Chains A and B, each alone.
Chain A
Amino acid sequence: MAIRNKPVDVVIVGLGWTGAILAIELAKAGLEVLALERGEDQDTVPDWAYPKVVDEIAQSARNGLLQNLSKTTVTLRHDQADRALPYRQIGSFKPGTGVGGAGIHWSGVHSRVMPEELRLKSHVTERYGRKFIPEGMQLQDWGITYDELEPHFDRFEYVCGTSGKAGNIGGVKSPGGNPFEAARSREFPLPPLKDPPTSVLFAKATRELGYNPYSLPAANASQPYRNPYGCDIGPCNFCGFCSDYGCINYSKASPQTTILPALRQMKNFSYKTNAHVVRVNTASDGKTATGVTYIDGQGREVEQPAGMVVLAAFHLHNVRLMLSSKIGKPYDPKTGEGVIGRNFCYQVLNSINTFFDKSTYINPFMGSGGVGQAIDDFNADNFDHGPHGFIGGGVIWGRQTGAGPVRGIPLPKGAPKWGSSWKQAVKDNYLHTGRIEAQMSNMAYRGAFLDLDPTYRDAYGEPLLRMTLDWQDNDLRMSEFFGDKLNAIAKAMGATSASGRIIKRGDHWDTRAYQSTHINGGTSMGADPKTSAVNKYLQSWDVPNLFVLGANVFTHGICYNPTGLVGALAYWAAANIRDTYLKSPGPMVRT
């Protein structure tokens, strides 16, 4: 017999970014909130205190903060006809574990979304015509507008203490900011961070090329800051151990720096660690969630009854929990019907290393996860796609995130990988190498989806989530377009040469080298229950007391980094639960 805990008003699965946001907002609404986190408790001190955490072997080479794949992982394949194989080692994406989730070891690039991306199908059809959408591409509108979300983007930026410069306040262009920016209601909470050498060169070169460089918004604080929850954030010192690492300085926004200190003081909030949720339980009508079942640190099965369930377990786990709890109709790629697993996407990233002569110091060991200069001239639909014949866009940036030698020293094409001449090459290049990247959208396709693997199981006996995904012609042509732009910018920056990865036609999704942890879709949001798993309030269409957060609600892979939108959607959902749902629990959208 399973152990049965005392019921709570709300149980939240996962205590990372979205879990922390929902926990504090629903606790403030007076509900008794319990968060269940599968990993350990952790905090700035002692876990990320200087000097312990600035250890490349422990954090980068041995993935100190990442999900332990021996416990659970996913399987991967390119095509429905293939046998899927397990993701046995960390490669192209890095899910987190423990309190804070991937909100600990993320980088901090903090963008919003371009408004037209939220109504992509309508927008593309209006501007380019229906025929512009290739066969097999599954475009959808998101069922929500940018204007509805604006206050919540703003809220999340002010919680994070985000550094940046507005380009458009209330529709009025603001000099010095990104001229393509969607209207924001006010200036960023903090001014931009100082520019490291890569970003200075990138801004100069792109300006000369006629583009419009701007300071990338960064959730790495440029100044001391106190957020609306009363949490103190310290200025980032460009320590260079940011992505992959917990912040030594209370500078990178994370649940620990921005929410948990206030949340932990609330008497109606509690959390349990080492609580791995395996199922959302439903009543016999199939329409009401009764709570969740988890495996505790001693391996015991525990039932946690709750009046409301929030899935905040990161993309992969949110989708898998929906599938293994049999909530919502699983997607079938053969018929195109069903919603759970539909529209699985993964942001496309091109990354090149730029090599300079010895008089140009980049000092790549300095840097911060979110700092950089970027251009939006080719983002979303900021340029005419007609002549290019592809759908999608991207942001191009010159970031300097911090790089140490264990993380790999990039070398010019043709350089040896070992021996005396390799040694000469690392000595000559290390201090003089920068990196520029294009991060692009990824469209949804009928054949790219998530389901449960028929063969492989995790340490809890549950089937692994199976990913079926490969790059399609539209996205590959887009990637080549961005590859050309990157090479031209590298040249204009004065790089003597460039090497790296540009995804081209003929290439396939490669899960070995790090790409990004920006995986999207699987439980899309939308206005139509036939093509979406949750409504615009992130409420399950099938089980109205279940809310599903995370980038899994995206209907395609957006151009910008996901967390600004993921966080805004979390605040939006929380506000609507508080103001509407609690007053009259039940479906918030009637069909």
Chain B
Amino acid sequence: MSKDTDRRAFLKGSVLLPALGAAACSPPATHQDDLAASAPAAATPAAADYKPAFFTPAEWAFVQAACARLIPNDANGPGALELGVPQFIDRQMGTPYGAAAAWYMQGPFFEGKPEFGYQSQLTPKQQYRLGIRAIDAWCAKTHGKVLADLDAKTQDDVLKQVEAGKVKSDDLPLDVFFTAFLLKNVMEGYFGDPMYGGNRDMAAWKMIGHPGARADFLEWVDKPAAYPYGPVDLHGRQA
């Protein structure tokens, strides 16, 4: 199959759907409404003039600086900042995730053995608010400047210390903020579909050789060779 026919068949779903015969219980004919409901969410890829909805200007500077260090722009490809990851995180704060809507958040809250996971009453939004404030305060005390104003080497050093639990705050455990929120969300934004605001032009997928939403490998799965096609995103764009 040429790349083009492969693609066309792929989008039409003709290689995906089984023949719907006249069997007593074939899946029902698809209605227009159902088709509309099966479309992915609206695509709003990273915008150059994005204004954060959740983060304050100081927080926004922190998030941008952290993104630039956690996944830097280098010879292997663009970094988290270039791919719009700060926008991804800001937008996630406005989703049910930002408010921990699907987590059990009833008290009482106790610290426990690490094996029992997250036991804090802080939502992701609160984690960012308190976490950034505490790290910036520590930077100001230790280095005389907030994280965003430090040089790259010092920023790396601060982030490593936060990760290792060496930077303390009364408000929250900063190593948890770093690993379970900041770094986790940076990775999600970098590698998630561009419609969420990160991974601009699927550059992160191209870098590692991930074909994105292609989701059809019947003819390739038994071939241990380089997969020849570039990625597609949830809105059918190719890169």
Contacts and interface: CB of A to CB of B under 8 A. Distances in A.
B193 interface: yes
Given A230-B23, A234-B17, A420-B74, A89 B117 contact: yes
Given A231-B23, A420-B74, A427 B207 contact: yes
A235 B218 contact: yes
Given A61-B188, A240-B215, A423-B77, A511 B27 contact: no
Interface string B207-228: 1111101011110111011110
Contacts of A430: 208-210
A39 to B, nearest CB: 13
Nearest to A512: B117
Interface string B66-104: 000111101011000000000000000001010011111
A237 interface: yes
A224 B104 contact: no
Contacts of A420: 72, 74, 76
B112 A85 contact: yes
Main secondary structure of the interface of B (DSSP, over half): loop
B187 A70 contact: no
Interface in A412-441: 417-420, 422-424, 426-427, 430-431
A455 B108 contact: yes
Interface in A234-282: 234-241, 248-251, 261-262, 264-265
A250 B209 contact: no
Contacts of B113: 78, 508
A237 B15 contact: yes
Contacts of B108: 455
B39 A232 contact: no
B137 interface: no
A361 B112 CA distance: 42
A420 B213 CA distance: 26
A49 interface: yes
B50 interface: no
Nearest to A407: B191
B208 A404 contact: no
Nearest to A470: B115
B24 A418 contact: no
Interface string B174-211: 00000000010011100111001000000011011111
B16 interface: yes
A57, A237, A248, A363, most chain B CB atoms within 10 A:
A57
Given A88-B117, A508-B113, A512-B115, A46 B25 contact: no
Contacts of B230: none
Contacts of A455: 108
Contacts of B117: 87-89, 91, 511-512
B105 interface: yes
Main secondary structure of the interface of A (DSSP, over half): loop
Interface stretch (A147-155, A194-202, A341-349, A567-575): A194-202
A250 B27 contact: yes
B34 A46 contact: yes
A240 B71 CA distance: 26
Contact of A249 (B17, B25, B118, B163): B17
A132 interface: no
A68 B96 CA distance: 12
Nearest to B96: A62
A233 B237 CA distance: 29
A63 B102 contact: yes
Interface string B34-54: 111111100000000000000
A510 interface: yes
Contact of B193 (A55, A423, A427): A55
A517 interface: no
Contact of A365 (B38, B186, B187, B210): B210
A1 interface: no
Interface string A57-72: 1000111001011100
B204 A232 contact: no
Contacts of A265: 24-25
A263 B35 CA distance: 23
A13 interface: no
B165 interface: no
A499 B110 CA distance: 33
A48 B215 CA distance: 13
The bracket for how many chain B residues form the interface is 35 or more
Contacts of B186: 418
Contacts of A509: 115
A388 interface: no
B234 interface: yes
A66 B204 CA distance: 27
B224 A200 contact: yes
A91 B114 CA distance: 12
B76 to A, nearest CB: 5
A43 B20 CA distance: 16
B21 interface: yes
Nearest to B187: A406
A250 B17 contact: yes
A86 interface: yes
A50 B9 CA distance: 12
Given A232-B20, A241-B215, A73 B27 contact: no
Contacts of A504: none
Nearest to A66: B102
B174 to A, nearest CB: 15
A238 B218 contact: yes
B115 A232 contact: no
Interface in A450-496: 455-457
B18 interface: yes
A200, A251, A265, A418, most chain B CB atoms within 10 A:
A418
Given A235-B218, A365-B211, A89 B72 contact: no
A108 interface: no
Given A239-B216, A404-B191, A45 B222 contact: no
17 contacts: A43-B27, A45-B27, A46-B36, A47-B37, A51-B235, A55-B193, A70-B102, A87-B117, A197-B224, A232-B18, A234-B16, A234-B18, A235-B18, A264-B25, A361-B224, A426-B208, A512-B114
Given A229-B25, A508-B113, 19 more contacts: A45-B30, A51-B40, A52-B38, A62-B97, A68-B101, A86-B104, A87-B117, A88-B117, A88-B118, A195-B222, A237-B217, A238-B218, A251-B18, A365-B227, A405-B208, A418-B69, A418-B159, A422-B71, A423-B71
